[in-house]
Structure 1
Amino acid sequence: MPSYLAFFRGINVGGDNKLPMKELTAILESLGCTRVQTYIQSGNAAFDSKSRSRAKLASEITAAIEAEKGFAPLVVLLEQKQLETIVAANPFPEAEADHKTLHFFFLTAKAKQPDLTALEKLKAADESFLLKEEVLYLHAPSGIGRSKLVATVDRHLGVATTARNWRTVSKMLELCGD
């Protein structure tokens, strides 16, 4: 049975789109997911599912949340092996020592015509990024709070994303292994 990781965008942020993790767990279990574990309130879940279609399962999860809570969050769903490959391909291994500086932007689909030149112009002097398949790796030693690149990444990639820092990505892989 495949192990999946779900990364939700825009839940429990600023008091909007409230979805307690206990309720998210119940929704996932109602869809037949097992061994459901969540990590922090920003919407991260690891679970097993008999589903063999990531796209179908992601749509079912979004629809179930909309039916239960009245909003339809973006969800990026990865298989455990995909996330392991993404982590192994990290082009900034030196940044792993400080989890707040390394970020993974998970794309909802492969960027067809990303404007990497625009992102390059927007990045701070100490920022580095690399787009590879369906993930944008960002090393931002000064943080991402004021990053102009981060504020426009979806527009310049032409696809929606949800981002997680190194600590969260590492913890999610641990949850899959538990």
Structure 2
Amino acid sequence: MPKYIALLRGINVGGHKKIMMADLRMIFEKSGFSAVISYIQSGNVIFQSNEADTKKLEQQIESALEKAYGYLVPVIVLTRSRIEKIVSNNPFKPLDGNDTSKVYYLFLKDVPERKTVELFNETKFQNERFFVCKDYIYLKCLCGMGKAKLNTNLFEQKLQVKATARNHKTVLKLLELSKS
């Protein structure tokens, strides 16, 4: 059975949209998924499903969460191999130990319009660099994400798509946890 990684957007941030990881795992299991593992409070879930369509999986998870909590939680579902390719193509290589807290991956729910991306590519901030790819973004914030002007909300606003960010260390851990 294929393994997937679900990335939830905007839960457990500043006391908003609180979801306990044990409850989240239970919702996934009640939704028919197996081998469910959660990682840290930011909403990372590894699971198995016979469904091959990641968009259908996203809708199924979003519906289950909305039913359980009464609000929409955007979910992005990726295969392990997709995340491996994204990591291996990171333009910020070679990565050293200091980069794990400065290099981020923003995963986009949809592919932004080309003209929107072209306009946004002109955006420049000191100590911050980014590369927009099809439905993900590589981001490097030399001063850390907490001080970055290029944050998830800005990318969502300018590219007009939902997104969620994970640092390099978290993405590597998700790949490790999702090994067979």
TM range, smaller chain: over 0.9
Describe the superposition over 1:119-139 as per-residue Cα deviations: whole angstroms up to 9, x where unpaired: 543422x22211111111011
Partner-residue secondary structure (3-state), 1:36? strand
Residue 173 to residue 104, structure 1, CA distance change in 2 (3 Å): same
Q: Does 1:67 align with 2:75?
A: no
Instruction: Tell me if the contact between 2:111 and 2:134 (Cα under 8 Å) persists in the aligned partners.
Output: yes
* Counterpart position of 2:11: 11
The Cα shift of 1:93 comes to: 1.6
Residue 137 of structure 1 aligns with an amino acid whose one-letter code is Y
Instruction: Tell me if the contact between 1:122 and 1:148 (Cα under 8 Å) persists in the aligned partners.
Output: no
Residue 118 to residue 58, structure 1, CA distance change in 2 (3 Å): closer
Partner-residue secondary structure (3-state), 1:149? coil
Residue 65 of structure 2 aligns with an amino acid whose one-letter code is I
Partner-residue secondary structure (3-state), 2:27? helix
* Counterpart position of 2:110: 109
Instruction: Tell me if the contact between 1:102 and 1:139 (Cα under 8 Å) persists in the aligned partners.
Output: yes
Alpha-carbon separation, structure 2, partners of 1:118 and 1:4: 30
The alignment covers a number of residue pairs equal to 177
TM value normalised by structure 1: 0.93
Residue 85 of structure 1 aligns with an amino acid whose one-letter code is K
Q: What residue ranges of structure 1 are gaps of 5+ in the alignment?
A: none
* Counterpart position of 2:46: 46
Alpha-carbon separation, structure 2, partners of 1:164 and 1:155: 18
Residue 148 of structure 2 aligns with an amino acid whose one-letter code is S
CA RMSD of aligned residues (A): 1.5
Residue 63 of structure 1 aligns with an amino acid whose one-letter code is S
Alpha-carbon separation, structure 1, partners of 2:71 and 2:121: 30
* Counterpart position of 1:173: 175
* Counterpart position of 1:29: 29
The Cα shift of 1:118 comes to: 3.9
The Cα shift of 1:116 comes to: 4.5
Percent identity between matched residues is 36
Residue 165 of structure 1 aligns with an amino acid whose one-letter code is N
* Counterpart position of 1:148: 149
Q: What residue ranges of structure 2 are gaps of 5+ in the alignment?
A: none
Alpha-carbon separation, structure 1, partners of 2:112 and 2:69: 30
Partner-residue secondary structure (3-state), 2:12? coil
TM value normalised by structure 2: 0.92
